[in-house]
Structure 1
């Protein structure tokens, strides 16, 4: 059903890297969410009025409020797809992240509200009245919400959308809550324990946990988190596919929203290569990365001494010493210069973020002393670097 609707209403639906296609996915999911919640609202309002159940009528208006998450996804998709302007040259893609954060906040407050209500019911239990019509309505609600979870999650994966993933979990939370009501209502026939309140506490904790995780993941994106290893590997694979590129380092990835990634990297080349030829290769690699990964890439050419046996000899010795001290370390931009009485070994060393300033300083001094102890008349200059 979901795939049919995607093919029916989204032209060129397979090109999920296209910003307009992404917007159509979010709008379609949002419209489906509004329609489903409105249908549930009408059914529950009618049944609730027919059997004179305040609980069902209240749940009907809860479905009406659930339309808010779908509306947020539509508005977020529209705003995030606005063209770049003078004030926002990188576009408005991060609005989608803000929309996801808003849905996470909504989920979190729903969890808090349910937790408060459940605790009050534990100390002031209310008798549940078993009604077959009520159970059927709730089961229908669960089935529709399960479908909403699956189609939002499916579309979210197709376009890597945080807002649709957040909306999916919002639907799943409704499944948990309504299923708890069904279970508690059936079990109330056999016990006087306030099971609806007890199950409500458990469900509210799940909802709070889901809201927290969605908010955390979204805030990570807004703050600027480290790129996925798969993305880094794909970039390096393309760069190193050209034999003129002998190494890479200092990869920095800036995420300005889905489909709006800008990155830079240092590409190591032989310092004896023709600069015009290397420039053409770099241009071609930038185009390859943009075509294959949708990333605007800026490549800095870093000439290094590849054929100098003396430099390579020192580099191998230094690398061996560093790896023996700590396998998590790596070096780049290694070069040597001759002083009056010694040889200067100059290089950048990548240190993990887990090492604080004091640990790093001690580590650098240890490496310097170890190298000097094994190599006569050398001066070691280390620039500490971090992996982005």
Structure 2
């Protein structure tokens, strides 16, 4: 496991947990002071954030453990499970917002202490923006699915806090139903984010192949290597930070076994140079045993 990967992923997960804890306390005070259903929505979302981030923190620590006798491919899929759990948490909070929003839409009430609510929402907005910026940088460096799911989660929080600001401003000018309407809109967006996150997690658990662009890079590297006549049966997947790459390499029939081994190792090193930390498995085939229809056959 890359030490930098472990350090960055842990830092991102811990940062999210700390921020969610602080914002939860602040929003409890703001909701108690104003009675705003939009702020109640934000409070519930922060509670879900905290539960999800704590889950993420523990699961990320588990996923970083090295492979063992019982888990020979490592523990990377724990990240996908964390993302799936987060999608369930978020879906629950969205349903709560729908119920509360419809209730307050039917019987709107004037809000109190709007100034406090606006200041708290501004604090939440800017602090969450900072967290999302940091998480995006970590995802760019690590491609961690758990942190990507957390980032999508907090991106929805940025949208939500912006909507709450508008709702509180409209309520200030007497449009009391704005609070409930924006709460419903926030619920729709959060539910959409949860479904998208859950879909991505399930696809990872089902061993979806690497993106087309990455598979094309693998093909280009293999086919450009001197001594390689062709290749076929490319299989790829990703578990946590680790990419798994398997393929059959086609070589000259009379190539000595040692030279075939050296050639396969050279191709493997080239792939590892492009995809550090990948698990590469190459099978060597003499050209004559490969049917013509499978020669240099790639499925993207």
What is the TM-score normalised by the length of structure 1?
0.68
Q: Is residue 27–residue 73 contact of structure 1 (8 Å, CA) maintained in 2? A: no
Q: Is residue 114–residue 200 contact of structure 1 (8 Å, CA) maintained in 2? A: yes
Shift of 1:302: 2.4
Q: When you count strand as a share of all residues, which structure comes out higher?
A: 1
Q: Tell me how many residue pairs correspond in the alignment.
A: 296
User: In 2 relative to 1, CA 253–197 (structure 1 residues): closer, same or farther, beyond 3 Å?
Assistant: same
Q: In structure 2, the residue corresponding to 1:245 is in which secondary structure?
A: coil
CA root-mean-square deviation:
2.8
Q: Which residue of 1 aligns with 2:270?
A: 288
Distance 2:124 2:167 in 1: 16
Instruction: Say which structure, 1 or 2, has more relative contact order (CA 8 Å, 6+ apart).
Output: 2
Q: Which has the larger radius of gyration?
A: 1
Shift of 1:105: 1.4
Distance 1:109 1:61 in 2: 10
1:127-185 C-alpha deviation (Å, 9 max, x unpaired): 23462232112211111122222222221222101111211222222223333222122
Q: Which residue of 1 aligns with 2:98?
A: 115
Q: In structure 2, the residue corresponding to 1:242 is in which secondary structure?
A: coil
Distance 1:298 1:264 in 2: 5
Q: Which residue of 1 aligns with 2:46?
A: 63
User: In 2 relative to 1, CA 186–300 (structure 1 residues): closer, same or farther, beyond 3 Å?
Assistant: same
1:61-99 C-alpha deviation (Å, 9 max, x unpaired): 753552222222221111001222222111111101111
How do 1:210-249 residues align onto structure 2 when only pairs under 5 Å count?
Answer: 210-249=193-232
1:78 lines up with 2:61 in the alignment: yes
Shift of 1:272: 4.1
Q: Which residue of 2 aligns with 1:103?
A: 86
Q: Is residue 44–residue 60 contact of structure 1 (8 Å, CA) maintained in 2? A: yes
What is the TM-score normalised by the length of structure 2?
0.86
Q: In structure 1, the residue corresponding to 2:229 is in which secondary structure?
A: strand
Q: Which residue of 2 aligns with 1:320?
A: none
Consecutive unaligned residues of structure 1, counting only runs of 5 or more, are 1-17, 306-331, 335-346, 351-384
Distance 2:226 2:166 in 1: 64
Consecutive unaligned residues of structure 2, counting only runs of 5 or more, are none
Q: Which residue of 2 aligns with 1:164?
A: 147
Q: When you count helix as a share of all residues, which structure comes out higher?
A: 2
Distance 2:157 2:17 in 1: 15
Distance 2:175 2:260 in 1: 80
1:271 lines up with 2:274 in the alignment: no
